[in-house]
Amino acid sequence: MSRTRFALLIVLALLVAAAPAAARPAATTAFVVINVGKINHDFKINGKKTASIAPGKRAKLVVTFAKAGRYPYLCVIGQHWKFGMKGRLKVT
């Protein structure tokens, strides 16, 4: 039986939101990414990426993590990741 998990992350001008809990290995994790900034952003994790998200808009990204570990995430538009739009999600 497959269950979808949700994770909550805040990355500067992006709000990556959902509930109730953290990502788990082999479970589907759905990220709802909300751009609360003033320019376009995206969200990339585990080889998957949203399309460019306009200010005030949202996107959903569904990911399955094969195993426990730390997975880097970032905004790959321009060089936003160099300015702090990055981090790591712990999958347990």
Domains along the chain? 4-91 (2.60.40.420)
- What single letter denotes the amino acid at residue 92? T
Tens of pLDDT, residues 61-86: 999 999 998 889 899 999 888 888 88
Predicted structure pTM score: 0.79
Residue 47 has a CB neighbour count (10 Å cut-off) of 7
Query: Which whole-number Å values give the CA distances from 66 to 14, 51, 63, 92, in the listed order?
Result: 25, 23, 10, 11
16 falls in which pLDDT band (50, 70, 90)? low
State how far the Cα of 85 lies from the Cα of 80, in Å rounded to an integer: 6
Tens of pLDDT, residues 20-59: 346 777 778 888 888 888 889 999 999 999 999 998 898 9
